[in-house]
Amino acid sequence: MATQLTHFQVSNDALDDGPELRRRIADDGYLFIRQLLDPQRLGDLRLHMLEVLRAGGWLRTGSPLNDGVADVAKKCAEGDPEYIAVYKNIQQLEAFHRLPHDPTIISVMEKIVGETVLPHPSKVARLWFPQNTLHTTPAHQDFVHFQGAYDTYTCWTPVGDCPLALGPLAVLVGSHKSGEVFDHHFALGAGGLAVDTGTLTGTWASTDFASGDALIFPSRTVHQALPNVTPDRLRLSLDNRYQARSQPIAAHQLLPHLNRASGQTWDDIYPHWQATDLQYYWKNLNLTVLPSDTTRQDRGFAEALELARQGNEVARPFLVRVVGRDPASPQATAAREALAALDAWANGPRHLSGAPGR
Ligand SMILES: O=C(O)CCC(=O)C(=O)O
Ligand SMILES: [Fe+2]
């Protein structure tokens, strides 16, 4: 990331002006809106989420719930089995699925896409530990993960205040403009794929977020998280996706987030809810559903294996995670072999032919 970080332009003045919102997002690749969401509603969701984290043992014993003070001994990252175990309980929260349907967000999204909007059924929370900056979300374009239509928009919002030190999202201003989906390569952090920002020009922008502030960007804007450099605070956030209902959506966006790792289905989630109006709300909408494409994810996995075989430590936490998640899977077998090769390098590269320094 460039050392220079500018502050977002605030777009509250244009909230009622669809053409102006579209012009700004087309120019800059993002919209930043202060207090789009009711902080009280987010505050309630925050407490529900923190209760789940406390039950999962993630919070420091005796600390005030709302402070979100982590027990750093429990730190884990998205995709780790310990993370998935707690995340499944977040996914069961009805308020977590309801908030992204808030009329104020829908109304802004409708102005941006110019027609009836579809909030993606897959709803996403991020629960980022402090002292875990190796796993900060790397620079990427959302299209590689969410696919479907290019005109899919992410709305990122912290659940609670998120000053720069807690690691909010940053965007590379104007990076959507080439229209390209850039090459992505294996990296740690959410999504596991990063774009090489060395080849991109532009200015990074972010800001201190207050609870209720929202960042909206289209699927080809390059963005990343800033590191959570607080000593002990968890960063909680939501990132949900929206598109015109008439546009195609990828099949995996109709399933619970991280279901491939968690095995969680909607039928596991819905029994915990009071209301039924948002259950399977997309079923009768006659959507165009595209098959999911895992080519980039498969290539990232192959790169991680290759890095380990070459003695590069960077992929170790990822490969350990793959083994821990489903030890009987073919991916776990490949990951175990690559980890054995990595251990051989670590324990005595001098004894291996072709080792560095020979
Ligand atoms: O919150 C994060 O760290 C990642 C979020 C992200 O990449 C997104 O909202 O698209
Ligand atoms: Fe993203």
Own/partner pairs for 79-84, CB < 8 Å, 24+ apart? 79/192, 79/258, 79/261, 79/318, 79/321, 79/325, 80/321, 80/324, 80/325, 81/321, 81/324, 81/325, 83/127, 84/258, 84/261, 84/262, 84/325
Q: In this predicted model, what pLDDT tens digit does every residue of 7-54 receive, in sequence order?
A: 999 999 999 999 999 999 999 999 999 999 999 999 999 999 999 999
Q: Are 98 and 109 in contact (CB under 8 A)?
A: no
**Is residue 219 in contact with ligand 1, taking CB distance under 6 Å?**
no
Whose C-alpha lies nearest to ligand 1, atom 9?
Answer: 239
Pocket test for ligand 1, best of 1, 144, 154, 188 (most atoms within 8 A of CB): 154
Instruction: Check whether 353 has a pLDDT greater than 60.
Output: no
Q: Which of 34, 35, 42 is nearest to 8 (CA)?
A: 34
What is the separation, in whole angstroms, between the first and last Cα of the chain?
35
**Is residue 146 in contact with ligand 1, taking CB distance under 6 Å?**
no
**Is residue 190 in contact with ligand 1, taking CB distance under 6 Å?**
yes
Nearest-atom index, ligand 1, CA of 140: 7
Instruction: Check whether 114 has a pLDDT greater than 90.
Output: yes
Quickly state the pLDDT bin for 230 (edges 50, 70, 90): very high
SS3 content of the chain, % helix, strand, coil (to 5): 40, 20, 40
Pocket test for ligand 1, best of 136, 137, 155, 242 (most atoms within 8 A of CB): 137
pLDDT of residue 3: 60
Residue 187: how many other CB atoms lie within 10 Å: 25
In sequence order, what DSSP letters do the residues of 152-208 get, joined into one string?
EEEEEEESS-B-GGG--EEEETTTTTT-----EEE-SSTTSEEE-GGG--S-EEE-P
Lowest mean pLDDT segment, chosen from 40-44, 109-113, 198-202: 198-202
pLDDT of residue 347: 87
pLDDT of residue 291: 98
Quickly state the pLDDT bin for 357 (edges 50, 70, 90): very low
Instruction: State the distance from the centre of ligand 1 to the C-alpha of 23, rounded, in angstroms.
Output: 23
Residue 103: how many other CB atoms lie within 10 Å: 8
Q: Are 134 and 160 in contact (CB under 8 A)?
A: no
For the CA of 240, the nearest ligand: 1
Ion ligand 2 nearby residues (CB, 5 A):
142
Read off φ and ψ for residue 119, nearest 5 degrees.
Answer: -75, 130
Prediction pTM value: 0.95
Q: In this predicted model, what pLDDT tens digit does every residue of 318-345 receive, in sequence order?
A: 999 999 999 999 999 999 999 999 999 9
167-184 core/surface letters (b: 16 or more CB in 10 A; e: else):
bbbbbbbbbbeeeeebeb
- H or E stretch covering 62: none
Instruction: State the distance from the centre of ligand 2 to the C-alpha of 224, rounded, in angstroms.
Output: 7
| Token code pair at residue 149 | 């239509």
| Token code pair at residue 64 | 């005030």
Instruction: State the distance from the centre of ligand 1 to the C-alpha of 108, rounded, in angstroms.
Output: 20
What is the average pLDDT score of the chain? 95
**Is residue 137 in contact with ligand 1, taking CB distance under 6 Å?**
yes
Quickly state the pLDDT bin for 76 (edges 50, 70, 90): very high
How far is the CA of 214 from the CAs of 79, 240, 274, 277, 349, in angstroms?
25, 11, 27, 25, 49
pLDDT of residue 1: 56
Nearest-atom index, ligand 1, CA of 137: 3
The Cα–Cα gap between 297 and 301 comes to: 6
Q: In this predicted model, what pLDDT tens digit does every residue of 159-189 receive, in sequence order?
A: 999 999 999 999 999 999 999 999 999 999 9
Read off φ and ψ for residue 230, nearest 5 degrees.
Answer: -70, 155
